[in-house]
Structure 1
Amino acid sequence: MYRVLIVEDEFIVRYGIRSMIDWEKAGIEVTGEAANGKEALELIHLNPPDILITDIKMPIMDGIQLIKEVRNSGYAMKIIILSNLEEFQYAQKAISHGVSEYLIKSDMMPRDFEKALMNVKVSLDSIGGQATIDEPARKEKLLLGLIEGSSYEEVIIEEAELGELHMPAFLLHIFIHSTDRGFIEKQHVIHETIEHIGGDRKFAVFADKQGEINVLLPIPHRASSAETVSEEIWAKQLARNILSNLADGYGLDCTIGLSGRACQWTELSKAYSQATAAAKQRLFLGTGKVIAYSELTAAKEDGGTPIKVSQSHIHTLLYGLQTKELNEYVGSLFDQLGQRKDPDLVQIISLELLMILTSMWPDVSNDQDQVLHLKKQYFDQLSKLETIKQSREWFIQAFAELQDHMIRIYNSDRNSIVKATQYIQQHYQQEISLQSISQFVHLSKNYFANLFKKEVGESFLEYVTRVRIEKAKVLLAGEMKAAEVGQLVGIPDPKYFSKVFKKITGATPSEYRSLVKEDKEVF
Structure 2
Amino acid sequence: MWKLIIVEDEPLVRRTIVGRINWQEHGFELVGEAGNGQEALELMKSYNPDLIITDIVMPLMDGIELLKEARTGGWDCRFLMLTCMNDFEFARQALDYGASGYLLKLSMDVKSLETALYKIKRELESRAEVRELQEKQSLYRYRDLYRSLWDHFYLREGRHPGLEDEMVAMPSFSLQHVFFCAFLHDNVEYCMEQARKIGFLGSDAMSGPSEWSTFTLDGITTVFGWSDRTMAWKAPVFGESDTSYAAVYAKPFSASELGKVWFEALLMLDRCWHDGRTGLVSVDARFGQPMASSAVIGHKVSSSTSHPFSALSWSHERELLLIFEQSKVEACKTILDLLWNEMKDLSIPVTFVKETTVRLDRLFARIVNHPGLPSAELTVAASSQRLKELFWQRIERYLQHKAASEEELTDHEEINKIIRFIRQNYDENITLKSMARYVAMEEHYVSRLFKSKVGENLINYVQHYRVEKAKVFLAESDLSVSDVGCSVGFSNDNYFIKIFKRVTGITPSVYRKRMESQEEPQHI
The normalised TM-score by structure 1 is: 0.40
Task: Report the structure, 1 or 2, having the larger helix content.
Answer: 1
The normalised TM-score by structure 2 is: 0.40
